Amino acid sequence: MFPRTYKKQSKLKRLLLKLFNIYAFERETLNIVNPNYKNNSKNFFEINDKSFLLSSGYLDLKRKINSLDIFFRYSPSNSLWNSTDRWKRIIPNINKETLIKVCILSLKESILAFLKKNKINININLISDNSNDSFDEELKKILDSDNYKLNFYKSKIEGNRGSYLECCDQALKAKDIIFFIEDDYIFEKDSIEEIIFTYSRISTLLNKDIFLCPSDYPFYYDSEYQTSLFIGKEFRWRYVSESLLTLIFSKSILYKFQNKIRQVGEIENFPFEKPFHQIFEQVPCLAPVNSLTYHLSRAVPAINENWIDLWNLNYNKLNQLQNNGGP
């Protein structure tokens, strides 16, 4: 252990704060201070204000989150990108339209769970690629809500690269945090809450904007590389050097690395996401230890989590909606 020096604090002050049960600990000195919150003997977060962790005290969240712009690109006519007919998804006997609807319903559930307790502006931007009007309307009905704004765009160029570049074009309108989402990711209910608070907390600690990758991909365990661990809201997060294209970052990062980010769709790369991996050498990217989202491709999407239960829960919810006359 390295040596620490602590500032002394008035015993009377400590006693008074304890009596009124409104105490916390300074992050560096571990002295009791009054952050104007009741201490319920558990971690505490107030969006765009303070976080309190029992292990390290409270932290003023200097990185405020003004808004979240989600760019969900989907293609019901395409199955697995860059695959052969022999490759099948991990979810058996499911068509692409149903997969997209289940995934987007799980995203909606996570957004609404976050907005029940917190207030920021959220915009969902649907990017349609090689779809049809009927299916587009089904997705709009699933997402229908007064709690956020819903926008719809058709990709000007068909295909994976075209829809990605459409996301890049539309993301220029974003106000703050940008979330690129591919159409085969299913979300835990607490995903959006963990992502928003974690972005604010870790960006505050590092004093810079960052990338977040919401999935704990199995390929993170295929090789050795040095990393560091951070505490988000409830999850541990670690530095990673690669990801797929479901990512959270800021408008300032988009503007600074716009040309490099667009290269994903403009030139051939191997792997496909290589330009992002190059940016991660300059801007930290972190992923949770245990997934917040699961990539429902052809491989098992996680190491330990029971993602099958999450799929069944949202699949059954979708069926109930449809049986009751919903989309």
Q: What is the mean pLDDT of residues 22-41?
A: 50
What pLDDT band is residue 82 in, cutting at 50, 70 and 90? very low
What pLDDT band is residue 28 in, cutting at 50, 70 and 90? very low
With contact defined as beta carbons under 8 Å apart, do 230 and 237 qualify? Answer: yes
What pLDDT band is residue 143 in, cutting at 50, 70 and 90? very high
pLDDT tens digit string along 94-135?
Answer: 899 999 999 999 999 999 999 999 999 999 999 999 999 999
For tokens 């052809």, what's the residue?
298
* pLDDT of 10 higher than 70: no
Dig out the tokens for 153 from the structure. 């765009």
Mean pLDDT score of the chain: 87
266 CB-near residues (< 8 Å, 6+ apart)? 161, 165
Radius of gyration (Cα) for the chain, nearest Å?
Answer: 21
Dig out the tokens for 194 from the structure. 């963990």
Q: What is the mean pLDDT of residues 51-55?
A: 76
pLDDT at position 34, please?
A: 52
Instruction: Say how many CA atoms lie within 13 Å of 21 toward its Cβ.
Output: 5
* pLDDT of 229 higher than 90: yes
* pLDDT of 7 higher than 70: no
pLDDT tens digit string along 260-279?
Answer: 999 999 999 999 999 999 99
Give whole-number Cα distances, 232 to 45, 156, 167, 302, in Å: 10, 37, 27, 20
* pLDDT of 55 higher than 90: no
Q: Is 163 helix (H, G, I), strand (E, B) or coil?
A: helix
124 CB-near residues (< 8 Å, 6+ apart)? 70, 72, 111, 143, 148, 149, 150, 151
CA pair distance 301, 31, nearest whole angstrom: 43
What pLDDT band is residue 147 in, cutting at 50, 70 and 90? very high
- Determine if the pTM surpasses 0.75: yes
pLDDT at position 46, please?
A: 87
Q: Among the listed ranges 64-73, 182-191, 216-225, which one has the minimum average pLDDT value?
A: 216-225
pLDDT at position 6, please?
A: 47
Q: What is the mean pLDDT of residues 225-243?
A: 92
Q: Which amino acid is at 53?
A: L
Dig out the tokens for 164 from the structure. 């990605």
Q: What is the mean pLDDT of residues 220-249?
A: 92
Spatial CA neighbour of 49 closest among 64, 67, 36, 68: 64
* pLDDT of 317 higher than 90: yes
Q: Is 65 helix (H, G, I), strand (E, B) or coil?
A: coil
pLDDT at position 19, please?
A: 60
Which residues make up the CATH 3.90.550.10 domain(s) of the chain?
A: 67-323
Helix axis angle for 160-171 and 258-266, nearest 10°, is 160
130: phi > 0 → left, psi -120 to 50 → alpha, else beta; which? left
pLDDT at position 39, please?
A: 52
What pLDDT band is residue 1 in, cutting at 50, 70 and 90? very low
Q: In CATH, which superfamily holds the domain spanning 67-323?
A: Spore Coat Polysaccharide Biosynthesis Protein SpsA; Chain A (3.90.550.10)
pLDDT at position 267, please?
A: 95
Strands 121-128 and 67-74 come out as parallel
With contact defined as beta carbons under 8 Å apart, do 192 and 114 qualify? Answer: yes
